[in-house]
Amino acid sequence: MSAADWSAVRITAALAFITTVLLLLVGTPLAWRLARSRSRLKPLWASLVAMPLVLPPSVLGFYLLLAMGPQGAVGQLTQALGLGRLPFTFAGLVVGSVLYSLPFVVQPLQQAFEGIAEPLLEAAATLRARPLDRFFSIALPLARPGFVTASVLGFAHTVGEFGVVLMIGGNIPDRTRVLSVAIYDHVEASEFDDAHRLAAGMVAFALLVLMSLYIVNRPRAERGGWAGAQP
């Protein structure tokens, strides 16, 4: 494999890792709020979170490009903060990936939180646990399968993205050139052997990731009626 291809692998891995960490940090409180909310606006929030599932990535990428551009709201903010412009940078890719993979992290977490029976949290309250304490000592451990699913799906989905990356990342070697784009370039240039190496690697990676997910989240036979939701 060429040095350029290795660079694409490294950038892809870094992008997926950073995106997943950010998504867990942002997605956990968001999923918790969605799971506990009894608001009439809940369907609206849930729909907004799910939008990247149905929108063509190019649509998302297009609007992100506009927003992050010199005239866009995000772009003006980043320039005012002295961060420059985000399009065609690694940071811009991270922002786009976070939005694009949001539902893949939030939905499993939300389901896991919704599977936690209210009486368990009430019992914790009667046992003197404050709200934040209840979240960390009861909700988080019971939602563990949801966190495994969310991390794996968030990571894997970010690795596989193409449209958003192309729109806002361009294709700058060593900076924003990720695996999926590298494969596309190889195919365009009729370098089918190179394309094969990367594509087959992706297939193996996807299989490995999903298998480990199903093994880790295998339901324990003796798990009682109060266990967290299964993915």
Partner 1 sequence: MIQARLQLARGAFTLDVDLALPGRGVSVLFGASGCGKTTVLRALAGLVRARGRVALGDEIWQNDACARFVPTHERALGYVIQEAALFPHLNVRGNLDYGRKRAGHTAPADGHAVDLAQVIELLGIAPLLARRTATLSGGERQRVAIARALATQPRLLLMDEPLAALDAGRKAEVLPYLDRLQAELRLPIVYVSHAIEEVAQLADHLVLMDAGRVLAAGPLAQLLGRLDLPLPVGEEASVVLTGRIGARDAPWRLARLDVHAADGAVDCSLWSRDPGLPLGRVVRVRVLARDVSLTRSAQTDTSIANQLQGTVEALADDATHPALALVRVRVRASAIVARLSWRSAQALALQPGMPVWAQVKTVALLE
Give the residue with the Cβ less far from partner 1, 126 or 190.
Answer: 126
Tell me the CA distances in angstroms from 153 to 58, 128, 134, 231, one per residue in order: 21, 36, 26, 11
CB 8 within 8 A of CB 181: yes
User: Which of 188, 222 has the CB closer to partner 1?
Assistant: 222
Which phi-psi region, left, alpha or beta, contains residue 223 (left: φ > 0; alpha: ψ -120 to 50)? beta
Interatomic CA distance for residues 161 and 16, integer angstroms: 10
Q: How far is the CB of 186 from partner 1 (least distance, A)?
A: 48
Nearer to partner 1, 95 or 112 (CB): 112
Q: Residue 134 or residue 186: which is nearer to partner 1 going by CB?
A: 134
Question: What is the closest distance, in whole angstroms, from the C-beta atom of residue 146 to partner 1 in the complex?
Answer: 13
CB of residue 228 vs partner 1: minimum separation in angstroms? Answer: 8
Q: Which residue's CB is nearer to partner 1, number 114 or number 185?
A: 114
96: amino acid identity, one letter: G
Q: How far is the CB of 128 from partner 1 (least distance, A)?
A: 4
In the bound complex, what is the minimum distance in angstroms from residue 106's beta carbon to partner 1? 23
Distance of closest approach, residue 105 Cβ to partner 1, in angstroms: 22
Question: What's the CA gap between 61 and 100, in Å, rounded?
Answer: 9
Q: How far is the CB of 77 from partner 1 (least distance, A)?
A: 39
Contacts with partner 1 by CB under 8 A lie at 117, 119-120, 122-131, 133, 137-138, 141-142, 222-224, 226-227
**Residue (27 or 228) nearer to partner 1, CB:** 228
Which of 30, 52, 33 minimizes the C-alpha distance to 153?
A: 52
Nearer to partner 1, 122 or 174 (CB): 122
